[in-house]
A and B are shown apart, each in its own frame.
Chain A
Amino acid sequence: MVTYLIRRLIGAVVMLAVVSMVTFSIFFVVPRWAGATPVDMATRYVGRTASAEMAQVAAQRLGFLDPVIVQYGRWVKAIFVGADYDYGAGVEHCSAPCFGYSFLSRLPVWPDMLDRLPVTASLAIGAAVIWLIAGVATGVLSALKRGSFFDRAAMSVALAGVSLPIFFTGLVSLVVFSYGNPFRVTAPGSTYTPFEQNPATWAYNLLLPWITLAFLYAAGYARLTRAGMLETMGEDYIRTARAKGLPERSVVVRHGLRAALTPIITIFGLDFGLLLGGAVLTESTFSLPGIGKYAIDAIIANDLPKVMGVTMLAAFFVVFASLIVDLLYAVVDPRVRLS
């Protein structure tokens, strides 16, 4: 168990390292291919009336004049030991984990990201609760009443659900429920109130994005659960369980559902990890100031430290979600033993 954990952890770190290297080179090597010099690259960060001399100064300040490998090394070092940053009125120490300072706003990236995280987490958790309950319940019921009207209707809706792009459903729901009516009968869906400030407003404001996002996932999960249930209910051990006279409820819940849920947990873990790293489309459709919106804004503004930071954060969530999923497997599925 311990060796397995250590092996997986090392794997995770290597993975993050690879992700960081690839992202870094995209932003530094590709523009060079396009013929941009380090000073050119710095010019975009020096404001409206920049002189060539100021661009030169900026290139130096941002470290663009060094070889890419040196810049990458500096970036990695800052994460582990921190870095010093010239604040104008003095040097400030940016303590580890230091993801550098935004080229444009000149604010440290890490606290900025931590600031955005609750928004994305709120969105992901709320939506996940809804889609898990709705999706799994629909899937199980559909499987048990296979071929019924309910099954057909639910599966049709689910199929439609997975076929709708979220920026379309989000837009439509905003227009119908928020913008369109002057009374805002339903939630506004385009503002965020922190949970600690007012839980009721928090939930009210997030209701629309939650439902929109959850609809997409619930549809997929209902299909998965149904397929999984049908498969397990056809297995021999279920027949055995029935044969030995177990009540149907117990067969379904303790044997069928448990086995059918295993793949759902894997997928859920990965989906959730991916969402925590930024629900890009949902957040941009609903203008929620989460990690995903942060990422898009950073990319559009070419703000490299932010892009690096957000990519790493997102990759971190995915990698650790998959790690946790594998560990959970051992608990849920008695056939899996970690060796």
Chain B
Amino acid sequence: MTAPLDVSGTELQAAPEAVVEGAGGAKAIQGRSLGQIAWMRLKRDKVAMAGAIFVIFLILVAIFAPVITGLLGHPPNEFHQDMINPETMGPKASWGGINKDFLFGVEPVNGRDLFSRVVYGARISLLIAFFATMLSVVIGTVLGVVAGYFGGWTDMIISRAMDVFLAFPLLVFAIALAGVIPDKAFGLEGDTLRIVLLVFIIGFFSWPYIGRIIRGQTLSLREREFVDAARSLGARGPYILFREILPNLVAPILIYSTLLIPTNVLFEAALSFLGVGIRPPTATWGGMLSDAVHFYTVPHFMFFPGMAIFLTVLAFNLFGDGLRDALDPRSSR
């Protein structure tokens, strides 16, 4: 580990918890890095850990969707017309057709396995949320650091740009953009194009939120003693940026990206709900909800995708909250 980080590490160790925690362990008191302290705190936060476990579970579900549906369900786009009452288009059996073959029942009209569709929906939802978050974190961090570190005109332009982005009626704009993009563009088509497009739209419009935070942090870090010290020792721009400032931004970046993921899950669901997301028949939670609007008399149809969105967002929020408490000793709980 590099020296500058140790500097900040020692600074943090002044916080009483670090000592108490050390005392809690049987081993002798020794210096702990920021990461170790955070991990200790996080482990004690049962709610956050529950969130984390659910998130891991979700990721596994998304990755192994074909295996899971192979064992417990049917292919997500397969019709089961025999499960449907043709007159009302609703499931023939009561309780939405829930039984051991169809764990969540069947979709009205075509009798598709709701369980499989919810499972596959996790893929789209997480994929887009993760990549969109990565995109906005990268843009936000780079521009935030540049603005905060260089100041002056650079800061002025980037800050104005952030203001413009924040002034955009985001959802309206995203819908407009998702609506006018043709079916085949940039050498891509079908689901791939839509996913890339959504990642781009969501990521591109959320960067200013993270950018502002990073800019603020950089501004204050720039004036800190250890940066001054490095500078007086002859360190130059890039060194200070990458070795002194960036490592100190890891914590806020980690916290805000964890908290941005659930927002992006909601964003993707909203776009799919409004019909500008992924195209059918690919299953998405938002898209299923928007289909369920017309079938509110079969409540299981809206319940499962709705709960899937809710639990996913909740889990990320719980984990994100815990992470913030663990990483940021000043935050109070």
**A residues at B contact (CB < 8 Å):** 11, 14-16, 18-19, 23, 26-27, 30-31, 33-35, 159-160, 162-165, 167-168, 171-172, 174-175, 179-180, 227, 230-231, 234, 270, 274, 277-278, 280-281, 284, 292, 295-296, 299-300, 302, 307, 310-311, 314-315, 318-319, 322
Contact = CB atoms under 8 A, between A and B. Distances in A.
A277 B169 contact: yes
A19 B270 contact: no
A86 B289 CA distance: 44
A33 B318 contact: no
Interface in B283-315: 286, 289-290, 292-293, 296, 299, 302, 306, 309-310, 313-314
A163 B180 contact: no
A173 to B, nearest CB: 11
B175 A299 contact: yes
A253 B314 CA distance: 32
10 contacts: A26-B177, A27-B176, A31-B182, A34-B181, A160-B314, A168-B302, A172-B306, A180-B296, A278-B172, A281-B274
Complex A-B, nearest 9 residue pairs according to Cβ-Cβ distance, in ascending order? A314-B169, A34-B182, A163-B313, A163-B314, A168-B306, A318-B167, A175-B296, A230-B332, A295-B172
Nearest to B299: A175
Interface stretch (B68-76, B101-109, B158-166, B219-227): B158-166
Given A165-B269, A281-B270, A299 B179 contact: yes
A167 B175 contact: no
A182 B169 CA distance: 38
B273 interface: yes
A23 B176 CA distance: 9
B56 interface: no
A231 B331 CA distance: 8
Contacts of A14: 160
Contact of B169 (A18, A174, A318, A322): A318
B327 to A, nearest CB: 15
A318 B170 CA distance: 11
B310 A315 contact: no
A168 B317 contact: no
B180 A171 contact: no
Nearest to B51: A159
B306 A26 contact: no
Contacts of A280: 171-172, 175, 274
A8 to B, nearest CB: 11
B262 interface: yes
Contacts, number: 139
B150 interface: no
A284 B274 contact: yes
A311 B179 contact: no
Interface residues of B, number: 43
Nearest to A28: B180
Contacts of A31: 180, 182
Interface of B: 160, 163-164, 166-173, 175-177, 179-182, 185, 262, 266, 269-270, 273-274, 286, 289-290, 292-293, 296, 299, 302, 306, 309-310, 313-314, 317-318, 321, 331-332
A289 B167 CA distance: 23
Contacts of B160: 11, 14-15
Given A172-B306, A230-B332, A278 B169 contact: yes
Contacts of B171: 280-281
B296 A163 contact: no
A159 B181 contact: no
B317 A274 contact: no
A277 B306 CA distance: 27
Contacts of A162: 313, 317
Contacts of B293: 171
B249 to A, nearest CB: 21
A26 B185 contact: no
Given A179-B296, A296-B175, A310-B172, A165 B318 contact: no
Contact of A19 (B167, B177, B299, B318): B167
Count chain B CB atoms within 10 A of each CB in A11, A168, A281, A311 and give the residue with the most.
A168
B289 A168 contact: yes
Nearest to B161: A18
A165 B185 contact: no
A314 B317 contact: no
Contacts of B302: 168, 171-172, 175
Given A167-B270, A315-B167, A34 B185 contact: yes
A31 B176 CA distance: 12
Given A299-B179, A311-B172, A319-B167, 17 more contacts: A14-B160, A15-B164, A27-B176, A30-B180, A34-B181, A159-B318, A165-B306, A165-B310, A167-B289, A171-B292, A171-B293, A171-B296, A175-B299, A227-B332, A274-B170, A296-B274, A311-B168
Contact of A159 (B185, B292, B314): B314
Nearest to A159: B317
A220 to B, nearest CB: 11
